[in-house]
Amino acid sequence: MTKKRIVITGAPGTGKTSVIVKLEASNFFCFHEVIRSMTQEAKESDQSTTFASNPIVSVSDPYEFNTQILNGRIKQYTDATSKNDDILFYDRGIPDVLAYMDYFDQTYGDDFINECKNHTYDHIFLLPPWEEIYVSDNERYESFAQAKDIHHHLLETYTRFGYSCIEVPFGSVDERQDFILKSIT
């Protein structure tokens, strides 16, 4: 059987991480969000104790930071070949890098675009902004209004690469997981 590569994506505060945790608890293999660990490392290496905005624009070299995120996601993609699982979930996919760079009005070259074209996924599940559950945390700097704008950038970017995003309806974590699993079978 061919491996199914499934991206779970969405703007900050959409419940994406809760769904990933639930999928893992249900014995599915999930690649975790690359930027959370990078954000923490950047915060620890920076002289300041706080960021005024998302670290993608707060680090001294945003292009290099995005390159590291891109490379981390490519590594996850290639690491999947060594997994025995037939279904692999990704907490964000490679095109997310471009969506965020577009959102922050950052430039990127054809190498970024080509990586999106050369590493494809089977399904993209997009969790929409959900104001009732939105909270900020140590790695989330965006307002809810910004989260809605990021959502549109994610949808536009995945669509540009030929994906038909499947919007995950609001509901409990169990309901959202069930929706995803029923959609891939």
* Residue 125 to residue 183: CA distance in whole angstroms: 10
Ranges of each domain in the chain: 4-184
Beta partners for 126? 9, 167
Question: Average pLDDT for residues 72-90, to the nearest whole number?
Answer: 95
Digit-coded pLDDT (tens) for 51-70: 444 555 456 788 998 999 99
pLDDT for the residue numbered 141: 67
Digit-coded pLDDT (tens) for 95-120: 999 999 999 999 999 999 999 999 99
pLDDT for the residue numbered 137: 60
Residue 125 belongs to what H/E stretch? strand 123-127
pLDDT for the residue numbered 182: 97
* Residue 12 to residue 31: CA distance in whole angstroms: 17
Residue 6 belongs to what H/E stretch? strand 4-10
Q: Is 134 a residue whose pLDDT tops 80?
A: no
Digit-coded pLDDT (tens) for 7-33: 999 998 899 999 999 999 999 999 999
CATH 1.10.3720.10, domain 4-184, yes or no: no
More confident residue, 44 or 66: 66
Task: Indicate the average pLDDT of the chain.
Answer: 87
More confident residue, 139 or 2: 2
Neighbours of 102 (CB within 10 A): 18
Instruction: Enter the pTM of the model.
Output: 0.87
